[in-house]
Chain A
Amino acid sequence: MNRRLDPAYKTEILYLEGRFDVHSLIQLRTWQPNATMPHIILELSQVNFVDSAALAWMVRLNKNVSNIQGSLTICGLQQPVQIILELTRLDRVLSLTETLDQALAKVGEY
C-alpha cells in the first residue's frame, strides 16, 4: 500500500494493489483517518479482488470519515471489484468514480 497526501484538498490517497482482503487489512490496522486530512480516496485500479472483510472495512471507514466531516471516495474499480460492489449493493452506499481525477474533483465539491 502506498499513501499520498494532497493538502490542497485535505485529502489522503491510499493506493492498494493485488488482493484487497483480510490479509492486506493487516497493514492498514495502524492507519486511521485524521481530522487534518478528513477526505480519503481509495485508488483500487491495481486491485483485482476484494473480500467481505475489505468491504466491511470500507463501510466502517465511510462511517468514520463522516464523523470527522470528511468523505470516502473509491476510484479505478476493475470489473470483478465493480461486480462485487454491485451485487452487494454497496455501490449505493459508497461514493465511486472511474478515475483519480474525478475522485479529486468530487472531493473539491465538499
Chain B
Amino acid sequence: MHMNMLLQNIPAFETIATAWLKTGIQAFGLWVDSRYQQVWPPSNTITTVAFRAPLVVNGQAIGELHIASDRQNCSQERLDADAGLLAALLQYEHNVHLLTDELIDCQDQLVTLYDIWTSMGQHGDLTALMQSLMREVVRLTKTSNAWISFASGLGVQHIITHGFVPISEQMLRSIQTNQFALFTKHDPICQHLDIVNLLWMPITIRSVIIAGGLGICNKTGEFSATDIKFVQAICEHISLQLEQQMLYQESLAKAQMESELALAQRVQQRLLSTPLPSVADIQLTAHAKPARIIGGDFYDVLQRPDGSVAIMVGDVVGKGVAAALLMMLSRTALRNAALATHDPAAILERTNMDLYDDLTTVGVFITVFVAIYHPKTHMLWYANAGHAPVLIFRNQQTQLLEADCPPIGVLPQLCAGSHAQIMNPGDILIGATDGFNETHNQYQEMFGYQRLCQLLTQHHELSATALCNLFFQQVEAFGNSCVQEDDRTMIILKTNP
C-alpha cells in the first residue's frame, strides 16, 4: 500500500528534489525497502549519504529521503521539514483513499438496499429471500459467515445460514438478545469459536415482538459504523417482510376461521330449526337468536315413545365457539337422557353425571329446564337446574318457575326434584334464556323479570308463535341502541283455549 502511495506521488518528490539540486547537492534519493526507488538526477547514483530524513506516515517509517553532497552548508533541518511535508501529503492521500473506499462501500450498500427493496414482493419463498439477503450482507460487509435465526411460531425456518456458522444452538441462545451486540477477538465467545469478530443485530416486529436476529462474523478489519447501519437497515427490511408474512397468515387464518364458523352456524341453525312435532291440543314454538355467529343457548323438543313430549331449554355459560361446542354436547346428552327416562329430574341427574367431569375441567356450567308434557292427561312434569327465566301463565297470572337445584356441572350430585301441574286450556309455559331479562337499554336499565311477566300477562291471548315474536320484538326494541350482549332463546308451549 505504501509503495503505491509513494509511486503515485513521485511528482511531489521530484519538485522537492529539483529544489535541492539547485542548491548544489550531487543527488537526491528516495530510499524504500532497502533500495533506491528513485534518484534525482536519474543519471546519478548515491554511494555516500550526507543527510537523511525518515518519512513517517501513521506513526510508521515507510522510507527515507537521502542527500549526497560534499558541501557542509546543507541543512538537515530543511531536509527534515521536507520529509515532514511529504509525509503529511502521503497521510492526507491515504485518508482520502480510505474515505473514497468507504463511500464506494456505502454506495454499494445503498444500491443493494434499493435492489432488495424493489425485489421484496417478488420473493414468494421467505427462506430464499433471507438467503439472498445474507449473501449480500456477507459480500458488502466483507465478512465470511452469517446466519438469521427466528423465534418459533413465525412460520419461517428456525435458522438460515450462509457459510459455515460454528455456533451451537446453546451459544446462539446466549448471544441472541434484544440488544445490538458486537464481539471482538478479545471476547471469550470469539476465542471459543476461533473467529475474529461477531456482530449481532436483533430483528423486531412492530418494535415490540422479538422475532430473532441476524449475526455476521469474521470481518476483515473492524466493523465500521456504515456496516452496522447497513445490517440494521437489512434487519428492518426483514422485519417488514416478516410482518407482511404474519399479516398474510393472519388474514388467511381469519378467512379459514370465518368459513369454519359459517359452517358451524349452519350446523347449529339446522339443529335448532328442526321442525317441532305437532301435538294435539297444544301449540309449540321456539326461536333462537345468538349474540354472535354461533351461541351457547339451545332448545330441543322431542316426542317420546310413550307419546309424551319432552321440552328442553338451556344456556351454556359464555358465548361463541366454546359455548357452542358445549351446547352441542349438552343437547345430545339431554336428548339421550330424555329418551331413556320420563322423569325430568332423572334426565337432569343423568345429564349432570355424563357432563360433570368435562364441565368441571373447563370450569363452566349449564342451566337447563326440562319439561315432559303428557297430552292425554294434560300433566306437565318439570325440573329446573338453575335455569331462569321460566314463566308460567295460569289463573290469569304469570309466575316465575324457580329452580330447585343448581346448574349442571356445579355439583357431582344435583338433587333435582320433579314437579307436576295440570295445564288447563289457555295456560302457557315459556322457557327463555337470560339474554331476555338481562338486555340493557341506553340508560343501563335491565329488561328484567318483571317486564317479562307483565308482557305475558298482557298478551296471553296471543298464539304461541305471535307471543314468541312479540317477546323478541319488545326486548330488541328495549335494547335498541345497544349491541345484543347475550344469546336469546325462547320456547313456548301453549294449551289451546
Contact = CB atoms under 8 A, between A and B. Distances in A.
B406 A56 contact: no
Given A49-B446, A87-B400, A92 B364 contact: no
A88 B317 contact: no
Interface string A49-65: 10111011001100100
B446 A90 contact: no
Interface string A72-95: 000000001001101111101100
B360 A63 contact: yes
A84 B72 CA distance: 120
B400 A90 contact: no
Given A60-B363, A63-B360, A93-B410, A86 B402 contact: yes
B230 to A, nearest CB: 43
Most buried by A among B367, B386, B407, B410: B410
Secondary structure at chain B's binding surface: helix, strand, loop or mixed?
Answer: loop
Given A56-B317, A56-B318, A93-B411, A88 B403 contact: yes
Interface of B: 315, 317-318, 360, 363-365, 367, 385-389, 400, 402-407, 410-411, 434, 438, 446, 449, 486
Contact of A90 (B318, B360, B389, B407): B407
Which of A56, A86, A92, A93 is packed against the most chain B CB atoms within 10 Å? A56
Shortest 10 CB-CB contacts between residues of A and residues of B? A88-B386, A87-B388, A56-B317, A60-B363, A89-B403, A89-B406, A52-B317, A93-B406, A89-B386, A56-B364
Nearest to B446: A49
Contacts of A55: 317, 365
Interface of A: 49, 51-53, 55-56, 59-60, 63, 80, 83-84, 86-90, 92-93
Contacts of A52: 315, 317-318, 367, 434, 486
A51 B364 CA distance: 13
Contacts of A49: 438, 446
B350 to A, nearest CB: 18
A69 to B, nearest CB: 18
Contacts of A89: 385-386, 402-407
B406 A88 contact: yes
Interface residues of A, dominant DSSP: helix
Contacts of B360: 63
27 contacts: A49-B438, A51-B434, A51-B486, A52-B315, A52-B318, A52-B367, A52-B434, A52-B486, A56-B318, A59-B363, A63-B360, A63-B363, A83-B449, A87-B386, A87-B389, A87-B400, A87-B403, A88-B387, A88-B403, A88-B407, A89-B386, A89-B404, A89-B406, A89-B407, A90-B410, A92-B405, A92-B406
Nearest to B407: A88
A49, A55, A59, A84 pick with most chain B CB within 10 angstroms:
A59
Given A49-B446, A55-B317, A88-B388, 13 more contacts: A51-B434, A52-B318, A52-B367, A53-B318, A56-B364, A59-B363, A80-B446, A87-B400, A87-B402, A88-B367, A88-B386, A88-B403, A88-B407
A86 B364 CA distance: 18
A84 B400 CA distance: 12
A49 B317 CA distance: 16
Nearest to B401: A87
A49 B485 CA distance: 14
A90 B402 CA distance: 12
A93 B415 CA distance: 12
A56 B364 CA distance: 6
Nearest to B316: A52
B89 to A, nearest CB: 71
A92 B384 CA distance: 14
A56 B365 contact: yes
A90 B414 CA distance: 11
Nearest to B384: A89
Nearest to B411: A93
A51 B406 contact: no
A61 to B, nearest CB: 10
A59 B132 CA distance: 57
